[in-house]
Amino acid sequence: MKDKSEIMLADSIEPLLEVRNLHMQFPIRRGAFRRTVGFVKAVNNVSFHIRQGETLSLVGESGCGKTTTGRCIVRVYEPTSGQILYKAEEQEPIDLAKLDNRNLRPFRRQIRMIFQDPFSSLNPRLSILQIVGESLKVNRVASGSDLEDRVASLLKRVGLRPEYIRRYPHAFSGGERQRIGIARALALNPRLIVADEAVSALDVSVQAQILNLLQDLQEELNLTYLFIAHDLSVVEHISHRVAVMYVGKIVELATTEDLFTNPLHPYTEALLSAVPKPDPRLRNKGVRIRLEGEVADPSNPPSGCYFQPRCPYAEDRCRHEEPAVREIEPDRWVACHFAEELNLRGFEAIGQSMKR
Ligand code: SF4
């Protein structure tokens, strides 16, 4: 893994993507006439930006809305409301949320997705040449021997042998399949990649190889990543900043170092306490915070702070008043009434390695 200082990014770099007040609601339909009886608020007033060349990670438990946010950005879903401002080269930012399919086409080439499951995301009946070359062919970028040359060079770039070009997905391991998925995402020279749980299905040693590959590609091609994961230990090594989501909302957003060493939201503290500590001397250090109760239902969230039924620090005010997302330091956001007063614990092992 690379040293943290190697991936620091200047604050002055302008955002490539800015998401403003994004909402995505899915109707709940019941009865013979499929009447709408409510809405699941999968993404609830989410705002963030990603700078050119930056990696922003979205982290949270299953169902917190992180994948839905990613899918809104690549416009698999049409958002209910909000803005997705994308800054194309030498153009003013354009709101992708408002574009129809025809007008979205040029931006679909610039914003690509890497999927979680390397086994199901590749069609087993297509060769690697067909899988990686599909977008080049459909967009009439290359054909014939030129297409083969391009696919071979993409395979080389992601660490696979070009001779594998006519093989089928079943002939590859999980890590190799994910490399094929990355080659497919790179085919049209994208600027922004949404990596949805891109390493979650892989063994730990293979995870590290894929994360290193993503970092190398970022340096080489000045790529910007929105990295979606449920595991904070994975994002620590690749992210410049981390946003923590809970029941459709961002509850904390900070630089990776700030978030790991000095969390300001109780939910972040609980997630950090669950990160496995690789050093056996640190395994018994710190107490794992076991949150009581279930994640709130996004179609019927609790009053006040959505986290209050599970929060060990909840007070009466939390049950009545929803905390606003506040910028309490430059580029440091949190949604908790008591963020300045709580003395929360960071991840000790990470804190030590960062001070080295
Ligand atoms: Fe906990 Fe209250 Fe802060 Fe919500 S606002 S995270 S319930 S202390």
> CA 179, CA 174: separation in Å to the nearest integer?
9
CA angle 121, 122, 128 (to 5 degrees): 150
Question: Does the CB atom of residue 175 touch ligand 1 within 6 A?
Answer: no
Q: Count CA atoms closer than 13 A to 338's CA, side-chain side.
A: 16
Residue 276's pLDDT is what? 72
Binding site membership of 244 for ligand 1 (Cβ less than 6 Å): no
Atom of ligand 1 nearest to the CA of 266: 6
At residue 119, the pLDDT reads: 74
Q: How far apart are CA 34 and CA 31, in angstroms?
A: 5
245 belongs to a structural domain: yes
pLDDT at position 12, please? 57
Nearest CA to ligand 1 atom 5: 336
**Rounded Cα gap, residues 275 and 181, in angstroms:** 27
Q: Is the CB of 305 under 6 A from ligand 1?
A: yes
Residue 127 lies inside a defined structural domain of this protein: no
Task: Report the number of distinct structural domains present in the chain.
Answer: 1
Assess if residue 92 is contained within a domain.
Answer: yes
Atom of ligand 1 nearest to the CA of 317: 2
Is residue 72 assigned to a domain?
Answer: yes
Which pLDDT score, from 0 to 100, does residue 7 have?
A: 42
Is 314's C-beta closer than 6 angstroms to any atom of ligand 1? Answer: yes
The confidence score (pLDDT) of residue 121 equals 82
Place of tokens 């950090």: 272
**In the chain, which residues have pLDDT < 70?**
1-12, 118, 277-287, 348-356
For 338, the domain range is: 1-110+227-356
Nearest alpha carbon, ligand 1 atom 6: 336
Q: How far apart are CA 324 and CA 221, in angstroms?
A: 37
Give me the pLDDT at residue 11, please. 58
The predicted structure's pLDDT at residue 202: 85
Residue 314 lies in a domain: yes
189 within a domain of the structure (yes/no): no
Which pTM value belongs to this model? Answer: 0.89
In a domain, 34, yes or no: yes
SS3 label, residue 225: strand
Nearest to 269 by CA among 304, 313, 325: 313
Whether 318 is in the pocket of ligand 1, judged by its Cβ within 6 Å, is: yes
On whether residue 194 sits in a domain, the answer given is no
CATH of the domain at 77: 3.40.50.300
Answer yes or no: is the C-beta of 309 below 6 A from any ligand 1 atom: no
Mark out the alpha helices in the chain (DSSP H runs): 66-73, 101-110, 128-138, 144-157, 174-186, 204-221, 232-235, 256-261, 266-273, 316-320, 348-355
Q: Give me 249's structure tokens.
A: 């909302």
